[in-house]
């Protein structure tokens, strides 16, 4: 695999944005700061019935993410590129760029843009340029896998619900992302074939971080996962694997769907 890029760089997202910053108005100057990318494969702008094409709404979302404290330029750029409204039911497309989680069927949800950006920023802490291979647990509708495809060289994404695995395949097809590999299986076992990973990110929260994930993480790599803490609440946990062992940080409270074992 590509070695994890060297340190230091881009020490972003090292703290939790203060609650008050979440309601700060979006600076106008940031409104067009990102979203410069225009992939050849991009479908034409879609009117969302808001009097704006989707790239303008997305640029606003990105500006808001930056105002909320997301600093990693690569993450902001990726968030500006991926058309989130194409991953939700058309009736919900109008809400796709609001900072809200949305249902994706099968009793699962797509995380809020802010949480997606925050977690990927944590995953990329200290990274220079793109990360190497990444493992995502919980493909869901495939949105986060698409975002990850722009910040990592390869994305392995595993989903335990066949219906969602199929849905993600369909959703991702028009994006033509050759570096995204969707796997149907139990992510609690990780995906040894792709190991070691420069990063592991879970979109579902368990009582513990499975040993398989720790084993499959490369030295120097980071794991970001919602996990139940001793206080009984779910929080974001970041684990950094070093040659000396594992550094574990418990960050802000979050609400993710449960990590379940087996396939269905
Ligand atoms: N990243 C997703 C979010 C999906 S929600 C997106 O962008 O849409 C979390 C997902 O984790 C659900 O689809 C759920 O079925 C899945 N999940 C839960 N436990 C899992 C496991 N052990 N292995 C793989 N997927 C799992």
Do residues 231 and 207 touch, judged by C-beta distance below 8 A? Answer: no
Ligand 1 atom having least distance to the Cα of 261: 22
To the nearest 10°, the Cα dihedral for 233, 159, 192, 195? -80
CA of 116 to the centre of ligand 1 (A): 13
pLDDT of residue 46: 52
- Give the pair of three-digit tokens for residue 141: 């509708």
Would you say residue 133 has pLDDT above 50? yes
Nearest to 75 by CA among 201, 171, 169: 201
CA of 263 to the centre of ligand 1 (A): 11
Q: In this structure, are strands 234-242 and 102-105 parallel, antiparallel, or unpaired?
A: unpaired
CA of 204 to the centre of ligand 1 (A): 5
pLDDT tens readout for residues 62-81: 999 999 999 999 999 999 99
Confidence label for 48 from pLDDT (cuts 50, 70 and 90): low
- The distance from CA 61 to its chain's CA centroid, rounded to whole angstroms, is 15
Is 47 catalytic? The answer is: no
Confidence label for 156 from pLDDT (cuts 50, 70 and 90): very high
Confidence label for 43 from pLDDT (cuts 50, 70 and 90): low
Q: What's the sign of the alpha-carbon dihedral 76, 77, 81, 87?
A: negative
Question: HSE (CB half, 13 Å, CA atoms) of 80?
Answer: 25
pLDDT tens readout for residues 169-213: 999 999 999 999 999 999 999 999 999 999 999 999 999 999 999
Assess whether the previous peptide bond of 8 is cis (omega < 30° from 0).
Answer: yes
Instruction: Identify the residue with better confidence: 34 or 68.
Output: 68
Ligand 1 atom having least distance to the Cα of 110: 8
Confidence label for 117 from pLDDT (cuts 50, 70 and 90): very high
Residues with CB under 6 A from ligand 1: 104, 108-111, 137-138, 140-141, 143-144, 158-161, 164, 186-188, 203-204, 257, 259-261
Ligand 1 atom 23 nearest Cα = 187
Give the separation between CA 123 and CA 101, rounded to whole angstroms.
Answer: 20
Choosing from 111, 149, 157, 202, the catalytic residue is: 111
Ligand 1 atom having least distance to the Cα of 144: 7
Nearest to 70 by CA among 122, 9, 29: 122
Instruction: Identify the residue with better confidence: 49 or 115.
Output: 115
Q: Which domains does the chain have, with CATH numbers?
A: 53-258 (3.40.50.150)
pLDDT of residue 92: 95
Confidence label for 26 from pLDDT (cuts 50, 70 and 90): very low
Confidence label for 8 from pLDDT (cuts 50, 70 and 90): very low
Query: Across residues 204-227, what is the average pLDDT?
Result: 98
Do residues 72 and 65 touch, judged by C-beta distance below 8 A? Answer: no
pLDDT of residue 53: 76
Would you say residue 38 has pLDDT above 60? no
Confidence label for 41 from pLDDT (cuts 50, 70 and 90): low
CA of 32 to the centre of ligand 1 (A): 32
Ligand 1 atom 10 nearest Cα = 138
Give the separation between CA 199 and CA 42, rounded to whole angstroms.
Answer: 27
CA of 26 to the centre of ligand 1 (A): 31
pTM above 0.85, yes or no: no
Would you say residue 2 has pLDDT above 70? no
DSSP 8-state class, residue 84: G
Ligand 1 atom 4 nearest Cα = 140
pLDDT of residue 29: 31
Give the separation between CA 62 and CA 212, rounded to whole angstroms.
Answer: 34
């Amino acid at each position: 695999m590509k070695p994890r890029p060297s340190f230091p760089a881009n020490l972003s997202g090292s703290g939790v944005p203060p609650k008050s910053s979440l309601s700060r108005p979006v600076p106008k100057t940031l409104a067009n700061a990102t979203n410069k990318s225009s992939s050849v494969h991009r479908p034409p702008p879609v009117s969302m019935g808001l009097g704006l094409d989707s790239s303008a709404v997305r640029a606003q979302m990105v500006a808001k993410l930056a105002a909320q404290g997301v600093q990693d330029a690569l993450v902001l750029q990726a968030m500006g590129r991926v058309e989130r409204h194409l991953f939700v039911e058309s009736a919900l497309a109008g809400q796709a760029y609001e900072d809200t989680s949305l249902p994706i069927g099968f009793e699962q949800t797509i995380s809020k843009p802010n949480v997606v950006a925050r977690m990927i920023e944590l995953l990329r802490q200290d990274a220079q340029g793109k990360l190497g291979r990444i493992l995502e647990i919980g493909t869901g509708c495939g949105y986060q896998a698409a975002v990850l495809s722009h910040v990592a060289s390869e994305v392995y994404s595993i989903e335990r619900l066949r219906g969602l695995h199929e849905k993600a395949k369909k959703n991702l097809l028009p994006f033509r992302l050759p570096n995204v590999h969707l796997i149907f299986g139990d992510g609690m076992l990780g995906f040894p074939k792709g190991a070691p990973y420069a990063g592991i990110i879970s979109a579902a929260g368990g009582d513990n971080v499975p040993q398989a994930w720790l084993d499959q993480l490369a030295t120097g790599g980071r794991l970001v996962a919602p996990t139940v803490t001793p206080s009984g609440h779910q929080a974001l946990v970041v684990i950094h694997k070093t040659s000396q062992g594992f550094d574990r940080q418990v960050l802000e409270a979050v609400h993710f769907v449960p990590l379940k074992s087996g396939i269905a």
